[in-house]
A and B are shown apart, each in its own frame.
Chain A
Amino acid sequence: MAQDSLLSDELLRHLMAVGQVDILVGVPTLDNASTIGGVVRAVHQAFATYFPRDRAVLVNSDGGSRDGTPGLVKDYSLDEAGTVTVSHSLRTMHRISAPYHGLPGKGSALRQILTAADLVQARAVAVLDADVASVTPERVAALIRPVKDHQFDYVAPVYARHPLDGPLVTQLVRPLIRGAYGWQVREPLAAEFGCSGRFLSHCLEQDIWESDVAKYGIDLWVTGAALSAGFRCCEAPLGPRVTTAAHARLGFQDVFQQVVGAAFLVLEQHAPYWLPRQQSEPLALVGTPTSEAGEPPTVDASRLTQTFCSDLQNLQSVLEPILSANTLSRLNAIAEGDCGQLRYPDDLWVRTVWEFLAAFHRGVMRRDHITQALIPLYLGRTGSFLIQYAQAAPADVEAALEAVGLEFERSKPSLVECWNQASPR
């Protein structure tokens, strides 16, 4: 076998044996020994309970785990999943574990899974996050059913969580995607999704698999690809998302830079689609949302705002080429007040993000410096929001988040103007 082959001979042999399938569930892994058993069990129970007549396969694409994850996938006893007594799959349930080749990272794992799905002509694919300890058969089914039963091409998850949870998503990525693409996707960064054979073929045809997007931002790219290429997209409620502590492999700064860098790259790639779009539409919701909202996060908001105030002073020279004079001046003004009671208004935050995006596009400096410079501003905005809504009812927080989304939509023309004037790096 050539070392650079996308699929190893062994994986090909397995896929040949599996043949054409209706459903493929892919699970990228890296040192997930503590959770993989639960994921495999949930997948098999989903096959047996919800898709007993369908041809189905689980494909684990492993990034070189040293904790025995692939072995656990291969050796998992079906008897353990055999607690499903009433329902019962009519067919052989296949399970494959294979290491991926190519660039390290989630992108290569996903590419292998999608390539395998393409090869076995899977009609519906679900990609799961092996870090999630709360995978259930119902969650697996929720990602597959919209594709299989309602002919959707892409299914984004909706997690039941407190509206103050996940500020990187709620303050930045969600409203950014909404404002740009014109689609309301609650979890555009999610590592779990469902998709059709048609959509995965489209993904595989795109020239991104060797790029930084594939390495750091493949989840967001998949969302953007679905939104921007006219595929039928929907959302599916999955319930709460519980991850293991071992999940936190990277520090916050690295995560932030990877996410924001990838988001800006993806937006740049899909600019021809989103630049002319106005306002936004919600995605269809397929499934029944749960009422669970989760607990609010315990974050020291004042520490975030203090960081904002101190770093803003130090970053003036970096921010000047990125932000307009007006925006920078307003930021400086709010930092001069009581940082413990910082108020970072919606319109200023949206303007900040749009201007960072335009600067990224223009290439005013090294792109990683641009994303790095956004960190203290993001912390300030997050801290400000938490201070303002820490005691608010979840519905009020949701309303405030909706207002942020609307502000991104409302102010989009200024971004478009700025974008069109700029020449890319």
Chain B
Amino acid sequence: MNALPAAGASLPDPLWYKDAVIYQLHVKTFADSNGDGIGDFKGLTAKLDYLHDLGVTCLWLLPMYPSPFRDDGYDIADYCTIHPSYGTLDDFRAFLDGAHARGLRVVTELVLNHTSDQHAWFKQARSSRDNPRRDWYVWSESDDRYAGVRIIFLDTERSNWAWDPESKSYYWHRFFSHQPDLNYDNPAVRDEMWNVMKFWLELGVDGFRVDAVPYLIEREHTSCENLPETHEVIRFLRAKLNEHFTGRMLLAEANQPPELVRPYFGEGDEFHMAFHFPLMTRMFMALRLEDRKPLVEIVERTPEIPETCQWGIFLRNHDELTLEMVTDIEREYMYEEYARDPTSRINLGIRRRLAPLLDGDRRRIELMNGILMSMPGSPIIYYGDEIGMGDNIYLGDRNGVRTPMQWSGGWNAGFSSADPERLAQPLISNALYGYQAINVESQKRADHSLLNWMRRLIAVRTSSRVFSRGSTTFLKPANHRVLAYLRTLGAEQVLIVCNLSSSAQAVELDLGRLAGALPIEMFGKSLFPRIGELPYILTLGPYDFFWFKLRRL
């Protein structure tokens, strides 16, 4: 076990996040230790060995703070403690120690943009126009300021302004109306948010996933997104972080095209990481189209980022598969191919987990994970996707992808000893994806289960930094159903070849410049014919993929 140094001590590699394999989970639905039907930190701590065994290196926890839960915890009512349902701060400390002892980093949520309307700050702000907290939020006498700014939650919101009957004025909210936006033009808000960060960093948290980054500042006659003043706020917080801590990480959630996300890395003085949202969408698109074009196009369109930065890449997460940043034609295609049932659509996206999106097809699930783990960036696995968990699109909002982790085929899937009616979310119990069929316990026992396959995949991925830090060169063979790319780091080279198609494919790769190299398949260590001057011919079965280490022997 590779334990991490104690909190506050200098870490061996301040760029650890560049090589991380991140596991995203919700404390509420991961493991319940006290039988109240709600997951908690003691339950999570008990599962650390499972996570360590899986091979992930970092845990990202969804919001764990006091909240009225009108947005699954992203409506925070108190930033500096733990929701009582999840345990105490001491429970959190014990979890953190347990994670670090196993070499696992921990990243928590930092919702900068807004609070819950139940947060004390907002209660004070709305109580009187003279209250010192009044200016911590964005108020207006009319609802016509910042006209034309897009509404993000189109399904529920009609305006970015909401009427506050208490103070008889409008407040600004980019998300739900119960989530008033903080006013970052007020230096006191920035200072207070740094205090929040410091609180958790001093406890030993390794970083923050920062929610809804582009929307911090509002200006008239703009989109109120990605404004220069927003970057100033980020640089302020990053400078504070650098001043007081080392080896900690900030991960930006900015659902924007890569060229618009790029500024959030700054010159290495803003975020360490940012999600690459379009890559995720394009991966699904490429698979259904059986054509590498969308994927290659988005990677080639992705700008260079500073040496100390990294992309966060993923297949699925706790939100909908977002289709905000695609063209109308692309969105229409994605809906038709992945969300024929309109119930599975929400906002501008699809509320489904990985396995149901891919019709439970093991070959496609493996291929998509194989691509994810070999693309430039740090991969993020959403809890339960390592065993192929299903979803429940009939639950409200995006709760259908936030159901309890399926540990076993027994009582409540091994998640909780509570009566099933008390569970934080209902279990998946259908014939295809129900916990009796899909669970950790049974997959641990089967050598060829998805869980064990994922373990091997992660192990190969983490065996070399070429995947996390290497350059990427696409080969573009004539057969567009084949995605082929070289990852290179110094003298180390890996060739990845993927068949995106449901039928067997032959491909001729132009590898003349690698003549003499010996391809060694990285999972089975099988030797393949030496590369010569002539086109290198490979045949791949449906959705097959190869990772070849290229050796000069």
Q: Which residues of A contact B (CB under 8 A)?
A: 13-14, 16-19, 52-53, 55, 87-92, 94
Contact B478 A91 (CB under 8 A): no
A92: chain B residues within 8 A (beta carbon): 291-293, 480
Residue of B294, B329, B478 near A17 (CB, 8 A) is: B478
Contact A53 B291 (CB under 8 A): no
User: Contacts A19-B505, A53-B329, A92-B293 given; 6 further ones with Cβ under 8 A?
Assistant: A17-B477, A17-B480, A18-B478, A90-B291, A90-B293, A91-B480
B329: chain A residues within 8 A (beta carbon): 52-53, 87-88, 90
> A52: nearest residue on chain B (CB-CB)?
B329
What are 10 sample pairs from A and B whose C-beta atoms fall under 8 A apart? A17-B477, A19-B479, A19-B501, A53-B333, A90-B329, A90-B333, A91-B289, A91-B291, A92-B292, A94-B478
**Contacts A90-B294, A92-B292; is A17 near B285 (CB within 8 Å)?**
no
> B535: nearest residue on chain A (CB-CB)?
A13
Contact B479 A90 (CB under 8 A): no
Give 7 closest A-B pairs by Cβ, nearest first: A17-B478, A92-B480, A17-B479, A92-B293, A91-B291, A52-B329, A92-B291
B333: chain A residues within 8 A (beta carbon): 53, 90
Chain A nearest Cβ from B299, distance in angstroms: 15
A94: chain B residues within 8 A (beta carbon): 478, 480
B515 interface residue per 8 A CB criterion: no
Within 8 A of A (CB), among B119-160: none
A91: chain B residues within 8 A (beta carbon): 289, 291, 293, 480
B461 interface residue per 8 A CB criterion: no
User: How many of chain B's residues have a CB under 8 angstroms from any CB in A?
Assistant: 20
B478: chain A residues within 8 A (beta carbon): 13-14, 17-18, 94
A52: chain B residues within 8 A (beta carbon): 329
Identify the interface centre among B294, B330, B333, B480: most chain A CB within 10 Å of its CB: B480
A17: chain B residues within 8 A (beta carbon): 477-480, 507-508
How far apart sit A18 and B505, CA to CA, in the bound complex (Å)? 11
B526 interface residue per 8 A CB criterion: no
Contact A13 B285 (CB under 8 A): no
Q: Which residues of B contact A (CB under 8 A)?
A: 285, 289, 291-294, 327, 329-330, 333, 477-481, 501, 505-508
A13: chain B residues within 8 A (beta carbon): 478, 508
A88: chain B residues within 8 A (beta carbon): 327, 329
Chain B nearest Cβ from A14, distance in angstroms: 6
How far apart sit A18 and B285, CA to CA, in the bound complex (Å)? 18
A19: chain B residues within 8 A (beta carbon): 479-481, 501, 505
Contact B285 A90 (CB under 8 A): yes
Residue of B330, B501, B508 near A90 (CB, 8 A) is: B330
Tally of A-B residue pairs with Cβ under 8 A? 47
How far apart sit A13 and B327, CA to CA, in the bound complex (Å)? 33
A18: chain B residues within 8 A (beta carbon): 478-480
Chain A nearest Cβ from B326, distance in angstroms: 10
B481: chain A residues within 8 A (beta carbon): 19
Chain B nearest Cβ from A85, distance in angstroms: 11
Contact A90 B477 (CB under 8 A): no
How far apart sit A282 and B327, CA to CA, in the bound complex (Å)? 41
> B478: nearest residue on chain A (CB-CB)?
A17
Chain B nearest Cβ from A81, distance in angstroms: 15
How far apart sit A89 and B330, CA to CA, in the bound complex (Å)? 9
> A94: nearest residue on chain B (CB-CB)?
B480
B293: chain A residues within 8 A (beta carbon): 89-92
A90: chain B residues within 8 A (beta carbon): 285, 289, 291, 293-294, 329-330, 333
> A91: nearest residue on chain B (CB-CB)?
B291
Chain B nearest Cβ from A167, distance in angstroms: 45
> A17: nearest residue on chain B (CB-CB)?
B478
B289: chain A residues within 8 A (beta carbon): 53, 90-91
How far apart sit A17 and B507, CA to CA, in the bound complex (Å)? 7
A55: chain B residues within 8 A (beta carbon): 291
How far apart sit A297 and B507, CA to CA, in the bound complex (Å)? 54
Chain B nearest Cβ from A307, distance in angstroms: 55
How far apart sit A19 and B502, CA to CA, in the bound complex (Å)? 12
B479: chain A residues within 8 A (beta carbon): 16-19
Chain A nearest Cβ from B136, distance in angstroms: 43
> B329: nearest residue on chain A (CB-CB)?
A52
Chain B nearest Cβ from A90, distance in angstroms: 6
Chain B nearest Cβ from A120, distance in angstroms: 12
How far apart sit A105 and B505, CA to CA, in the bound complex (Å)? 35
How far apart sit A33 and B294, CA to CA, in the bound complex (Å)? 32
How far apart sit A17 and B506, CA to CA, in the bound complex (Å)? 8
Chain A nearest Cβ from B29, distance in angstroms: 35
How far apart sit A19 and B333, CA to CA, in the bound complex (Å)? 21
B480: chain A residues within 8 A (beta carbon): 17-19, 91-92, 94
How far apart sit A52 and B479, CA to CA, in the bound complex (Å)? 19
How far apart sit A90 and B328, CA to CA, in the bound complex (Å)? 11
How far apart sit A32 and B367, CA to CA, in the bound complex (Å)? 45
How far apart sit A89 and B294, CA to CA, in the bound complex (Å)? 9
How far apart sit A16 and B330, CA to CA, in the bound complex (Å)? 27
How far apart sit A89 and B291, CA to CA, in the bound complex (Å)? 11
How far apart sit A148 and B56, CA to CA, in the bound complex (Å)? 48
How far apart sit A64 and B291, CA to CA, in the bound complex (Å)? 33
> B482: nearest residue on chain A (CB-CB)?
A17
B501: chain A residues within 8 A (beta carbon): 19
> A20: nearest residue on chain B (CB-CB)?
B503
Chain A nearest Cβ from B28, distance in angstroms: 38
How far apart sit A16 and B291, CA to CA, in the bound complex (Å)? 14
B507: chain A residues within 8 A (beta carbon): 17
> B291: nearest residue on chain A (CB-CB)?
A91
> B292: nearest residue on chain A (CB-CB)?
A92
Chain B nearest Cβ from A369, distance in angstroms: 51
Contact A16 B506 (CB under 8 A): yes
B327: chain A residues within 8 A (beta carbon): 87-88
Chain A nearest Cβ from B166, distance in angstroms: 46
How far apart sit A55 and B477, CA to CA, in the bound complex (Å)? 17
> B296: nearest residue on chain A (CB-CB)?
A92
Identify the interface centre among A13, A19, A90, A91: most chain B CB within 10 Å of its CB: A90
> B481: nearest residue on chain A (CB-CB)?
A19
How far apart sit A19 and B289, CA to CA, in the bound complex (Å)? 13
